[in-house]
Structure 1
Amino acid sequence: MTITTPAAPAAPVPAQLREARIPEDGLYEGRRLLRRLPEGTEERPYEHFEVVPQGRTIGAEIRGIDLSRPLTPVLREELNRALLEWKVLFFRAQHLTSEAQRAFARNWGELEVNPLLAGGSSPDVVLFDKGAGTTPTFENVWHTDVTFREKPALGAVLQLREVPPSGGDTMWADMAAAYDNLPQSVKDRIDGATAVHDFIPGFIRFYGPERLVPLQDEFPPVEHPVVRTHPESGRRMLFVNTSFTTHITGMDRAESDRLLRFLFQQAHVPEYQVRFRWQAGDIAFWDNRATQHYAVDDYVPHRRVAERVAIAGDRPY
């Protein structure tokens, strides 16, 4: 009797993978490098207050400090270390007077006057009073404050006086993390590059030429490095933003626009962000050299009132 061995089943024919293409220069999924401290820096405890992290690389609530009282040199130094490490610090229920808010900010330098925004109780206090029927200004875009200045602000101290029943959060993005995660090919392109910053694109959206023309001589366009080095931490950080960066120096306009769009996108990555839900009397103190921020405009017709003081900075390098 002949025994026939069944033939082995034929190997399946691999399916033909259809051709697919997504647009270049986008944001894609994958693990990101999330490094809060400069490379080689060791974690150290805080001795004068409690630090409660609010994000992986950015944002911490500081507990156990009354900001209405003068800072000792030791406390100021430890708060500055926290600012460098966390980039934005939150203090709950401080309810500072405008003068106390200014006094706290002056621990980091002279205060800046911004003639483009509504003044508060003194020329160096900016008042944001938003709601139905108020004059609109728009901060719901990722931006770094006043990069149109030769010396953009070091930082800012913002206090909410009145909060809406819901909404009105503020978000910050860590621009050191944004730089760390750029493709090496992009880093190579922007290493040593500069970009032009101008106040007009950020303000023409809500002010007419009659308001802006008289300020053109005071604020001419300036050039800053596309990647700045933090003067205290030494971190390299992406330093372009949608509100004020107009083009990359010496680059064809179309090429500059395409590269800037890609760089602007980096602030939109949630892994680099922290979001703060305000209560009346809360304070946020951020490092304007290392961050971008976005004021979420989702509360009108309710009212939101805030005061901000900004600390004069130095020229980026």
Structure 2
Amino acid sequence: MSAVTLGYDVSPLGEGVPFGATVSGLTLAQLSDSQVRQALYDLWIDKGVLLFRGGESSPQMQLELSRCFGELEPHPFPESRSEGNPDLVKIKFYPDDGSYYEINGELRGGWLPWHSDLIYTHRINHGGILRPVQLPSTLGMTGFLCQIAAYDRLPQPLRERIEGLHAVYEVQVDFSGCPFTDAGDVRLMRLANSGTEIEKRRFTYPRVIHPMVFTQQETGRKVLNVSPTFAIGIYEEGGPEGEELLREVVRHCTDAALSYFHDWQPGDMVLWDNWRTLHCATGVPPDETRVMERTTITGDYALGRRLGLDGPIADFDV
């Protein structure tokens, strides 16, 4: 059954974008139809990123729409949860609160480099829906990269070299210290109040490993499973050779030709498959305000492991 028959429209995400789709005219009432829910789920698995525009947009719609794609779970850091609803994460920058950085000479508040959500845990959430609450007057875009397209563009020798290898991840709060983000000259100017609280206990979270390549179960497509942010090395290849290999892979998975940057409009909601998509935030000038809310759609692709806690794994040293 087509999307039009089900009562909404589907179109490309953007001209020349090798992934994603735009869903227009979706209403809360339509989500009670099991055929609509299944069609949206199938579209998500196929396209990776869905922009919902020109339909209903509210916290209730965001939560119910998210449940079409899986159960919801609270963010592991209580400081990140929205007031009054643990199923919503508040992503915020205010002139007087929020992390901001100097990036290649420019000040950006709420900047986030390319990453996968919760990659620093052994159970990566399957996705999330992001909705704007208060938008800035300039910047504040969210970028997305398709890691299926990134794998398809890898040279064959590099594909063979990373098959079976695992990247190591740990919780990081100050993104200026991430060794593989490849963002240029980055300096932390102020850490958010919530980040300060998380920093106090971040070393209580064990390091984890995830395969650098895995196969999407529903389609058989290969996914380049590398998050530049939170990565600290390759488990099987420590030292300079492993570091250079990881940097080479990052250069491919952050190829600008594979990216889509979403310029938010009021009422937009964006869903992404966190297992096959990287995302980032461009940030805003430090005198601007940007407030977003995101759901966390649970899941477990069952390939992540906690170092030292899920079996006899040798110590990793970087």
- On whether the aligned pair clears a TM of 0.5, the verdict is yes
Query: What is residue 40 of structure 2 aligned with on the other side?
Result: 79
Residue 143 (str. 1) matches residue 115 (str. 2)? yes
Select which of 93, 96, 99 maps to 1:130.
93
Q: So what's the TM-score if we normalise by structure 1?
A: 0.78
CA contact (8 A) 2:214 2:224 kept: yes
Name the CA shift for 1:74/1:99 in 2 (closer, same or farther; >3 Å).
same
C-alpha deviation, 1:81, in angstroms: 1.6
Q: So what's the TM-score if we normalise by structure 2?
A: 0.78
Q: What CA distance in whole angstroms lies between the structure 2 residues aligned with 1:177 and 1:100?
A: 30
Query: What is residue 307 of structure 1 aligned with on the other side?
Result: 293
**Partner SS state of residue 141, structure 1:** strand
Residue 64 (str. 1) matches residue 25 (str. 2)? yes
Q: What CA distance in whole angstroms lies between the structure 1 residues aligned with 2:66 and 2:297?
A: 7
CA contact (8 A) 2:226 2:253 kept: no
Question: Residue type of the partner of 2:13?
Answer: Q
Q: What CA distance in whole angstroms lies between the structure 2 residues aligned with 1:247 and 1:229?
A: 22
Name the CA shift for 1:68/1:278 in 2 (closer, same or farther; >3 Å).
farther
| Mapping 1:282-293, distance limit 5 Å | 282-293=268-279
CA contact (8 A) 2:141 2:263 kept: yes
Query: What is residue 53 of structure 1 aligned with on the other side?
Result: 12
Q: What CA distance in whole angstroms lies between the structure 2 residues aligned with 1:153 and 1:64?
A: 27
- How many residues align? The count is 273
C-alpha deviation, 1:54, in angstroms: 2.2
Of the structure 1 ranges 44-53 and 111-120, higher mean CA displacement relative to structure 2 is found in 44-53
Query: What is residue 181 of structure 1 aligned with on the other side?
Result: 153
Question: Residue type of the partner of 1:102?
Answer: L
Query: What is residue 19 of structure 1 aligned with on the other side?
Result: none
Q: What CA distance in whole angstroms lies between the structure 2 residues aligned with 1:210 and 1:66?
A: 39
**Higher normalized strand content (fraction of residues):** 2
Question: Residue type of the partner of 1:305?
Answer: V
| Mapping 1:194-205, distance limit 5 Å | 194-200=166-172
Show CA shifts across 1:160-200 (max 9, x none). 11212221111100100101111111111111111212113
Of the structure 1 ranges 194-203 and 237-246, higher mean CA displacement relative to structure 2 is found in 194-203
Query: What is residue 208 of structure 2 aligned with on the other side?
Result: 222
Name the CA shift for 1:231/1:122 in 2 (closer, same or farther; >3 Å).
same
Show CA shifts across 1:268-298 (max 9, x none). 3232111211112210011111100111113
Q: Kindly report the root-mean-square deviation, in angstroms, between the aligned alpha carbons of the 2 structures.
A: 2.4
**Partner SS state of residue 31, structure 2:** coil
Q: What CA distance in whole angstroms lies between the structure 1 residues aligned with 2:286 and 2:30?
A: 35
Query: What is residue 265 of structure 1 aligned with on the other side?
Result: 251
**Partner SS state of residue 108, structure 1:** coil
Show CA shifts across 1:54-109 (max 9, x none). 24322221112114653421111111121122211111255633233222212222
Identity %: 29
Q: What CA distance in whole angstroms lies between the structure 1 residues aligned with 2:281 and 2:159?
A: 29
Q: What CA distance in whole angstroms lies between the structure 1 residues aligned with 2:292 and 2:237?
A: 40
Name the CA shift for 1:76/1:110 in 2 (closer, same or farther; >3 Å).
same
**Partner SS state of residue 115, structure 2:** coil
Query: What is residue 119 of structure 1 aligned with on the other side?
Result: 81
Residue 169 (str. 1) matches residue 131 (str. 2)? no
Gaps of 5+ in 2: 101-109, 178-187, 304-318
CA contact (8 A) 1:126 1:307 kept: yes
C-alpha deviation, 1:311, in angstroms: 0.6
**Partner SS state of residue 157, structure 1:** strand
Of the structure 1 ranges 141-150 and 245-254, higher mean CA displacement relative to structure 2 is found in 245-254
